[in-house]
Amino acid sequence: MEIKKRLGKRIQELRIKNNLTQSELAEKVGIATKSQSCIETGKNYPTAENMEKYAKAFNVDISEMLEISHIKPKEELLSDLIKILKSANDTDLTTIYKIIKGIVH
């Protein structure tokens, strides 16, 4: 996954964690909602100045904003999940199913 997409996903992850909509975050940073969307989808990079504003909005250090190495592509996540599910016993598999179903629905 290219760096723009990883950074966009990281910003989206922090936005969701902070219970902000794209428009609320865009307002805090001082950009248009459309620009926020383009950043989160990896079409555009945020400016260095806006990275500082994101960090302030999320109340994190700028270095935490740049922690993008842990973000994996969807295919890799699915592959990892399948491995976990195949190794789970029946009880754990039922618990995992209930948790995922609760999150998704």
pTM value?
Answer: 0.66
Q: What is the pLDDT of residues 15-58, one digit of tens each?
A: 999 999 999 999 999 999 999 999 999 999 999 999 999 999 99
> Structure tokens of 51?
């990275």
pLDDT at 1 over 80: no
Other CB atoms within 10 A of residue 65 CB: 18
Q: What is the pLDDT of residues 59-90, one digit of tens each?
A: 999 888 887 766 667 787 788 889 999 999 99
CA angle in degrees (0–180, nearest 5) for 28-69-79: 115
Cα–Cα distance, 94 to 91 (Å, whole number): 5
18 vs 102, more confident: 18
